[in-house]
Structure 1
Amino acid sequence: MGISLMLCLVEGFEEGFGKGNGKEEHGCFLAITELKSIGNGEFEDESGDVLFSVAFHCRTFLPVNGEIMLGVVHKIHRRGVFLRCGPMKYIYLSAQKMPNFYYAQRKAQEIFISDDHSKIENDVVIRFVVFAVRWRKKHWDIERDFMILASLEGDCLGLVSLPGSDELEL
């Protein structure tokens, strides 16, 4: 196999690798760490494609119940918020699983506010515990992805303050 064909195969493999979100038993694929071998190509009569068997090592991300994770709020609704964490796009934190937080709408902005005036709003980082995980092959417009239910019930969960000072400079 020539070097240019090898480079083309590796490039195509890495490009196609990111399209599938993962597998139920392995989790989401993050990156290829080692390409072990590329087999001989086999011609497919029906499609005209040439298929190559590929052996590789990769990094994956598989969420499990009870795991503590960080997520960024990207959508707020009256009944809860949606978070993102790395390749996980479907993380739901129900209002029922946010003790001491209450829904409020200020002007055009929806937020959850706590007794101590902490606010959950878009782009805020939250530390949460994974309450439930479900793998979906096909559900509405979601194909091959994990759906996660989150909770703030527990110690050290909630809003995360990012590095830097919130003090006023005088």
Structure 2
Amino acid sequence: MVFMEVEMPWNVIISPDKLDAKGLLLHKAIILRLMDDIANKKASKEHGYYAAVTTLNTLGEGKVRELSGDVLFPVTFSCITLKPAKGEILVGTVDKILKHGIFLKSGPMSSIFLSEKTMRDYKYVGGENPMFLNDKHAKLEKDTMVRFKVLGLKWLESEREFQILATLAGDFLGSI
């Protein structure tokens, strides 16, 4: 996964009860609100998943909103992001097993599909605890760690996440 540090502009809205004449509590309120906003936004197509706000670079002059009395502060900040890339080797955990493939989770990504067609030598074994098994008795079952390659990815705006298609075709890929 590619980690990047990006600088972003943002508008932070602070309610009147968080305002303080000394300024220190205001600065803290702005940072806390910014971190909360970024956590709720989760990800973007351009930057990937937001991992951490690192620095508050600039803090503009606050403008009072007439209807609510809230104060809007324009800010710029630096943020660590992580974005998956096609061809990248990642490690994930088996979350759900279906007859046609496996859903994996890896870090903030929860929509990774490993199709039965891209799992060389693995065959589906149904039952109470379904799994995929290969000739060397390697198992892909719930909570198994799997090294996989990103075959393709797609941004889903409604879910605010990437949908990833994975493969086990390649050297040293499969259960760990």
Please, what TM-score do these two structures have when normalized by structure 2? 0.83
1:153 aligns with 2:174: no
Question: What residue number does 2:100 align with?
Answer: 79
Q: Distance in 1 between matches of 2:64 and 2:162?
A: 34
Which has the higher relative contact order, 1 or 2, with Cα contacts under 8 A spaced 6 or more apart? 2
Q: Distance in 2 between matches of 1:44 and 1:96?
A: 56
Q: Distance in 1 between matches of 2:67 and 2:101?
A: 48
Q: Distance in 2 between matches of 1:67 and 1:144?
A: 21
Spell out the pairing of 1:1-170 with structure 2 (5 A cutoff). 2-45=23-66, 48-106=69-127, 108-138=128-158, 143-160=159-176
The superposition leaves residues 115-134 of structure 1 with CA deviations (integer Å, 9 ceiling, x where unpaired) of 11111011111110000010
Per the TM alignment, residue 158 of structure 1 is displaced from its structure 2 partner at its CA by 0.6
The superposition leaves residues 31-81 of structure 1 with CA deviations (integer Å, 9 ceiling, x where unpaired) of 112221222222334555422212111111111110011111111111111
User: SS at the partner of 2:126?
Assistant: strand
Question: What residue number does 1:163 align with?
Answer: none
Give me the CA root mean square deviation. 1.4
Q: Distance in 2 between matches of 1:119 and 1:137?
A: 34
Q: Which consecutive unaligned segments of at least 5 residues does structure 2 have?
A: 1-21
The superposition leaves residues 91-144 of structure 1 with CA deviations (integer Å, 9 ceiling, x where unpaired) of 1101111001111123x1111111111110111111100000101112xxxx21
The one-letter code matched in structure 2 to 1:88 is M
Q: Distance in 2 between matches of 1:86 and 1:38?
A: 31
Deviates more, 1:123-132 or 1:30-39: 30-39
Structure 1 stretches of 4+ with a deviation exceeding 6 A read: none
Q: Distance in 2 between matches of 1:67 and 1:15?
A: 30
The one-letter code matched in structure 1 to 2:79 is C
Q: Distance in 1 between matches of 2:108 and 2:141?
A: 21
Please, what TM-score do these two structures have when normalized by structure 1? 0.86
Structure 1 pair 37–112 and aligned structure 2 pair: CA distance change class (3 A): same
Q: Distance in 2 between matches of 1:91 and 1:47?
A: 42
Q: Number of residues paired by the alignment?
A: 155
